[in-house]
């Protein structure tokens, strides 16, 4: 039997989602607590990797069990009791045994936050960037992403990607009521460090370093050296994973 787990986490204290030797990760932390509660070694499979310091406001993972779980709500409650405060399990539910948290995901969505003024309580959830940005131009440049599917210019070196092809379906900058900038991007898949590299380059459009046309030329160039430094991990959230 296979069970899906919907969860959230603050990534500040972790070296990303994926299990690593001698480094704290979200996957490893959940596996340890889940195995303890179930009294049997339990591995979990996530919908995808997130890098060090990156957050998830909505994440999906799965695990298998040889015996049925009688009360998923009770397991959710117990798991939340033993997990650290920066990881929260939203719900656990049974799915078809062939359904896969990673391979069956059809779309993923990331959200990035930039605050124009110092906010002590958002230091781990937004990029403090006290420079005026032209959001209109940033939105115009962002829309150019929809014209392309090869994002080599925003792919981290030595990531061993089989392909740098991604199909972006939605991209948008929004100014919230407190003047926080919210960037949303949705695609079938993302390359490692891709969203942070895109945000960093779009911020350079907003501050006047690049024009909209120059941003599009960076995409077409398929040259990582042309893009800007990646935005800090703290402002990035995996915000949705969609399945058929």
Give the catalytic positions in this structure.
51
Strands annotated E in 86-231: 87-95, 105-115, 127-128, 168-175, 181-187
DSSP classification of residue 130: -
Quote the distance between the C-alpha of residue 71 and its chain's center. Answer: 30
User: 134, 243, 132: which is closest to 188 by C-alpha?
Assistant: 243
User: In 3-state terms, what secondary structure has residue 52?
Assistant: coil
User: 59, 52, 46, 72: which is closest to 7 by C-alpha?
Assistant: 59
Q: Where are the alpha helices (DSSP H) in the chain?
A: 26-38, 72-82, 135-143, 194-206, 212-221
List CB contacts of 224: < 8 A, sequence separation 6 or more. 152, 153, 154, 155, 156, 157, 197
- What residues form DSSP beta bridges with 240? 109
Inter-residue contact 157 to 194 (CB < 8 Å): no
């Amino acid at each position: 039997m296979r069970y899906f787990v919907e969860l959230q986490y603050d990534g500040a204290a972790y070296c990303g989602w994926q299990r690593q030797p001698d480094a704290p990760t979200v996957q490893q932390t959940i596996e340890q607590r889940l195995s303890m509660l179930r009294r049997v070694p339990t591995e979990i499979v996530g919908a995808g990797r997130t890098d060090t310091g990156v957050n998830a406001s909505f994440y999906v993972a799965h695990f298998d069990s040889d015996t049925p779980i009688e009360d998923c709500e009770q397991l959710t409650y117990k798991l939340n009791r033993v997990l650290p405060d920066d990881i929260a399990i939203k719900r656990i539910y049974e799915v078809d045994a062939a359904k896969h948290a990673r391979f069956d995901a059809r779309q993923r969505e990331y959200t990035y936050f930039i605050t124009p003024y110092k906010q002590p309580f958002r230091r781990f959830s937004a990029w403090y960037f006290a420079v005026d940005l032209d959001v209109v131009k940033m939105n115009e440049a962002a829309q150019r992403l929809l014209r392309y599917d090869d994002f080599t210019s925003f792919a981290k070196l030595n990531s061993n990607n089989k392909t740098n092809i991604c199909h972006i379906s939605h991209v948008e900058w929004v100014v919230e009521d407190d003047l926080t900038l919210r960037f949303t991007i949705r695609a079938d898949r993302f390359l490692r460090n891709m969203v942070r590299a895109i945000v960093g380059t779009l911020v350079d459009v907003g501050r006047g370093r690049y024009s909209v046309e120059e941003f599009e030329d960076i995409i077409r160039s398929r040259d990582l050296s042309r893009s800007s430094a990646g935005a800090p991990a703290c402002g990035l959230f995996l915000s949705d994973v969609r399945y058929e």
